[in-house]
Structure 1
């Protein structure tokens, strides 16, 4: 990213969220300025948009949900963002329609999709080529592995798969944690040792690797369910729902069902004046998803609950089942 002492970094992520590691330490390393974003401003789109402009922030880093909020409600056209040269995002999948809207409003910065669990911090990166095509609906790849790390893709038996095949992403190198504090059993489950003694961390994320070494994120291993004999990735259903123009947020949860084994609920939010009817949503799903992936139930909320790190709170949604 070639930061310099002239850069002004945002510090939006709370310090218990691993995004803050880049904000603080990269900024300090290069002698740049760190602009602290107060919690009261951090989720208030109009005030946050004003702060980014007034503070002349040049490198912004946050979860995609905050950037989507800015694109929808920040009135970005009112402000001067000539200082903003890089927009970094990580922590969750950025729905393409929200990313496209942001890039159209702010076309000059470079956009980077960063990936990495807390246990590795950022381990892959991908620069989004602009403009985002209007026909694109699939999320961008998580990219290539960082130069100080190594990556491989494993099957369920822990054997490396061929390029192009699905598997679990594993990471090794100096950026990987040593283990979980006072939790030896959890540490043992999270790592495996290669024949050369290298400790590899199993991320739990399912990916494919392209011929050029670029990784595409498919979903969490623990978010795959069997339904009617088919393997269903809940994130694929979410990605399809996000393609509907009237849907602002989508989260899909699988619940145990005595008769069917698994039932699927889609929790959705929209702008009040654009909420689609149930018939419209079901028709949309029938046109874009195979029958076995269509949710059994749709639940509308004013907004989906968030964690302290601004990600959708799936645990709270599960209590609504």
Structure 2
């Protein structure tokens, strides 16, 4: 197997009548029907002009038809670009423009009416599949150097320049994780996996592809419903869920607000978490809530997918902090100290770098040279930007970020992107953002000092996803600067304590 679409072909031969997908509305499809419909939709793509190697983006809520479209895009030897349906239209347009995608799949009820008017839309095929329409774009002077049948997806993440960066992942980058994660998390044809992560979040790769490789069923939650811990708790019982893959924050919310004691969740045996550091208190609550489970900590940036893992041993005292563990079999990790590579050995600390089959090659719309370390043999190592140390057992411990990118609710957030968005307001002359006590705090200067926090929030809401909107705004007369005339972020942190 060398391509993602072959997953369905293989599983349909072994488990044709197993339920493959069920969505929140109750629509369901088995593997045999899924394979048949993928081929039908793929033929329809080709008949209206979709060609191999092209990029097809989509703004779709998760249901059977949207996953069918995604899989048909892959079957057409194209790549898919998922766009956050809850992001403001300007953000969605930015991703489409940066991707220079051939076409966009969308539902008219869920996109802004002016979105297509703001883009070089050539033609629109309404109701291409049910209520899903397909728009084609005509980009001027566009030659796609990235066109390749080997490209599977482009996942856009926060960019420090203020423009989202597109991480290009090939089939060969994604399959090693899919195979490995299926086995290590005990996925079988009896498994029932709840899909909480949106499709533009790399956790969805496990939900969709690892589950479908196993012959189990993936249960889809749309983005709005996926924010409701009470609903998720109820669905764990209703759908007899066996596997959940989400962030520590979401697990904490389910336990706090999901009234789990009301529901029978004894089927839940495999709890996988990633995207941010797992607090010891939260993992203890997870174990107390679902005591018969297996508990996995996955770690890895979008550029590499998961590269380290740790399984919590409940027979031993819980380690503090929870390790991100050891490298996955398809990845190699080293420690970068003063521009020199060292092996992962006890008591070393530095920046975690990685290479291997799952590592991306390049960004769609930005240079990637600065994110790689080139060793003396010419091998490229991805610099994660994460500070780590190795404990006495040889396990990797996450210590924090080395740069201005943080993780919030599992999402990557470039703090400078928020500051740049604030600075597009005429009334804001300067802005800086820090991350303190798990909160985004924005400092800004205003020559007239008359713009309100409500106005700033509204402006940012038009440009950024909800998870990038600061929790707190602080007006100051002048941003503190260091001796080299750069913003003094340490001083900004100290201002919060005053």
Structure 2 match to 1:176? 359
Structure 1 match to 2:193? 9
Q: CA deviation at 1:159?
A: 3.5
Q: CA deviation at 1:48?
A: 1.0
| Native 8 Å contact 1:115 1:124 kept in 2 | yes
> Where in structure 1 do 4 or more consecutive aligned residues deviate above 3 Å?
210-213, 263-269, 317-321
Structure 2 match to 1:97? 281
**In the aligned structure 2, how far is the partner of 1:177 from the partner of 1:268?**
29
* Number of residues of Structure 1 aligned to a counterpart in Structure 2: 247
Q: Structure 1 unaligned runs (5+)? A: 225-233, 236-252, 254-262, 270-304
Alpha-carbon displacement from aligned partner over 1:192-220 (angstroms, at most 9, x marks no partner): 22233321100000111235431110011
Q: CA deviation at 1:94?
A: 1.7
Which aligned pairs between 1:1-321 and structure 2 lie closer than 5 A?
1-130=185-314, 133=317, 138-160=320-342, 163-184=346-367, 187-222=368-403, 266=436, 313=468, 316-317=470-471, 319-320=473-474
Q: CA deviation at 1:10?
A: 1.5
Q: Which moved more, 1:94-103 or 1:106-115?
A: 94-103
**In the aligned structure 2, how far is the partner of 1:156 from the partner of 1:319?**
36
Q: Which moved more, 1:26-35 or 1:151-160?
A: 151-160
| Native 8 Å contact 1:103 1:132 kept in 2 | no
| Native 8 Å contact 1:103 1:131 kept in 2 | no
Q: CA deviation at 1:39?
A: 2.4
Alignment CA distance shift 1:177-1:318 (3 Å): farther
**In the aligned structure 2, how far is the partner of 1:150 from the partner of 1:267?**
32
What SS does structure 1 have at the residue aligned with 2:288?
helix
What's the RMSD between the two structures over aligned residues?
3.3
**In the aligned structure 2, how far is the partner of 1:218 from the partner of 1:173?**
23
Alignment CA distance shift 1:265-1:212 (3 Å): closer
What SS does structure 1 have at the residue aligned with 2:342?
coil
Alignment CA distance shift 1:132-1:20 (3 Å): farther
**In the aligned structure 1, how far is the partner of 2:384 from the partner of 2:308?**
12
Q: Structure 2 unaligned runs (5+)? A: 1-184, 408-414, 416-432, 440-460, 476-498
**In the aligned structure 2, how far is the partner of 1:76 from the partner of 1:320?**
38
Q: TM-score, normalised by structure 1?
A: 0.68
Structure of greater relative contact order (alpha carbons < 8 Å, 6+ residues apart): 2
Q: TM-score, normalised by structure 2?
A: 0.45
**In the aligned structure 2, how far is the partner of 1:163 from the partner of 1:11?**
36
| Native 8 Å contact 1:119 1:177 kept in 2 | yes
**In the aligned structure 2, how far is the partner of 1:147 from the partner of 1:268?**
32
| Native 8 Å contact 1:100 1:132 kept in 2 | no
Alpha-carbon displacement from aligned partner over 1:258-294 (angstroms, at most 9, x marks no partner): xxxxx9885579xxxxxxxxxxxxxxxxxxxxxxxxx
